[in-house]
Amino acid sequence: MRRQKIEDRSKKIRGGWFSTLLVLVLLLSFGTMPVSAQSIGDVQMDEANLYAMTKQMGQFIRRFNYEEDQFGNKINPKDPAYRNKQKRQQSMSILFDQETYGNQPDLQQYFIEDVTANDSTYMTFLGGRWYSEVSATFKYNGKEVNLIMILGVEKEGLGSKWVLNNIYFSEFNKLFPTGDLTEKEKHFLHPMSHELDFMNIYKIFKEPEVAEYYASRSFEPNYLTLFFYEIKKGHLVFQHVDSVKFHVFQIKDWYFEVSWFNRNSSNAGWLISNLIYIPEKDKKDLLKFYEP
C-alpha cells in the first residue's frame, strides 16, 4: 500500500512550502557549524560551505546511513546515534541537489520516508549494485571522441577493487544497430547447408554490416571486448577523464544517480542528481548495462 502511494505520489511532484522549509533547515543545520577564525575575510563563509559539502562518495554513504555526525565525525557503531532513524530522516535532504529536488520536494520526501522506515535500507561499499560512470576523452583513429566506462566494485583476495564492467561508445553501437526484424529474417543459412559444404557461407561476409544476423539468437555484442581490441590495436588512445558519476541500484525499489556539484554553496559535492522509483523486478533489465 505504502509502495503504491509512493509510486502515485512520485508521479505528481509539486513545489511549495517544503522547499522553503528545507532551505531553512539547511541554513539552521550549517549555520551552527564550527568555523575556525582565520585571517582571510571570506574564508569563514567558505569553510561553512566546505563542512556542508559532501566531499567524498564515502561521505555520501556515511551521511546516507547516518554513520557520521554533521561535523564529519565518525559515530561509533555502539553509540545510539549510529544510524539513528530520526537523525537520518532529518539530515538526508542535504544529499540531494536542491537545484533539482528543491522543486520536487515530494519525491525527495517519499524517498527519505521509505529508506528510513522500519525495514530501512543502508548503502554499503561492498554491497554491490552501485557503479561508477567515467566519461572520458579518447582518440579514435586520431580523432577525439567521448566514451563512457562503467566500473563496479569486485571482491578479490583480501579486499576489493574497481573493475571495468561495460563500455558505451557510439561508434561501437553503430556497428550493431537494432535491426528491423523482417530484414533480419531474410538472413540465414538454410538447415541443409552442411550437405553443400557450406558453399553459401560467403553470404555472411558479403554484407559485413549485417554479419551478426547470422549469429545465434542469444548473441549479444560484447562492447568491452571490442574496447580492449581497439586499445590493443592502438586505434583507441586514452586522453583524459572528463567527469565521474555514480549509479546506485543497491537501495530496495529505488535508483539514484550521484553527481559532483562544484559550487560555492552549502549544497555542493556528491549529491543525488536523479532519483527514480523502480521496483526490484524492473531493475533486472537495467542492470544488464551496468553488469552485462
Partner 1 sequence: MKKILAMLAIVLFVGNVMAQEEEISFERKQAIDSLALEKVRDLSKYIKIVGSKETAWSEANRVIDRAEELFMSNAEIGVSSVASNNIKYYKVRPYLEHLMRLNYDRVEIEWYNIEYVSDLQRQPDGTYVGVITIFQTFRGYDKEGNLAYKDTTKKDITVYVKRKETQIGGRMIGFWDVLLGDMRVKETANK
Residue type, 164: L
User: If binding is defined by CB under 8 A, does position 174 make contact with partner 1?
Assistant: no
3-state class (DSSP) for residue 156? strand
- Residue from 160, 170, 173, 225 touching partner 1 (CB under 8 A): that is 160
Distances (CA, A) of 279 to 1, 2, 263, 271: 13, 13, 33, 22
User: If binding is defined by CB under 8 A, does position 43 make contact with partner 1?
Assistant: yes
Distances (CA, A) of 120 to 5, 180, 227: 17, 45, 39
CB 68 within 8 A of CB 59: yes
User: If binding is defined by CB under 8 A, does position 262 make contact with partner 1?
Assistant: yes
Taking the least distance from each CB to partner 1, the nearer of 240 and 284 is: 240
- Residue from 1, 12, 31, 39 touching partner 1 (CB under 8 A): that is 39
Nearest approach, Cβ of 204 to partner 1 (angstroms)? 42
User: If binding is defined by CB under 8 A, does position 58 make contact with partner 1?
Assistant: yes
Q: Which three cell numbers stand for residue 60?
A: 555520501
User: If binding is defined by CB under 8 A, does position 177 make contact with partner 1?
Assistant: no
Taking the least distance from each CB to partner 1, the nearer of 31 and 157 is: 157
Residue 162's beta-bridge partner residues? 153
- Residue from 2, 7, 21, 56 touching partner 1 (CB under 8 A): that is 56
| In 53-164, alpha helices (H) | 57-65, 85-91, 98-101, 105-115
CB 220 within 8 A of CB 226: no
Q: Which three cell numbers stand for residue 110?
A: 517519499
Taking the least distance from each CB to partner 1, the nearer of 23 and 43 is: 43
The DSSP code sequence of 9-68 is HHHS---SHHHHHHHHHHHHHHHTS-----SSTTHHHHHHHHHHSB-SHHHHHHHHHT-B
Candidates 8-16, 17-25, 51-59, 277-285: pick the segment binding partner 1 (CB under 8 A): 51-59
Candidates 109-117, 154-162, 196-204, 281-289: pick the segment binding partner 1 (CB under 8 A): 154-162
User: If binding is defined by CB under 8 A, does position 139 make contact with partner 1?
Assistant: no
Using the CB atoms, write b or e for 226-252: b if 16+ within 10 Å.
Answer: bbeebeeeeebeeeeeeebbbbbbbbe
Distances (CA, A) of 270 to 31, 39, 158, 259: 20, 29, 28, 5
User: If binding is defined by CB under 8 A, does position 283 make contact with partner 1?
Assistant: no
User: If binding is defined by CB under 8 A, does position 32 make contact with partner 1?
Assistant: no
User: If binding is defined by CB under 8 A, does position 163 make contact with partner 1?
Assistant: no
Nearest approach, Cβ of 70 to partner 1 (angstroms)? 13
Residue type, 178: T
User: If binding is defined by CB under 8 A, does position 41 make contact with partner 1?
Assistant: no
Question: How many chain residues touch partner 1 (CB under 8 A)?
Answer: 34
Nearest approach, Cβ of 64 to partner 1 (angstroms)? 13
The residues binding partner 1 (CB under 8 A) are: 35-36, 38-40, 43, 46-47, 50-51, 55-56, 58-59, 62, 72, 74, 76-78, 125, 156-161, 240-243, 262-264
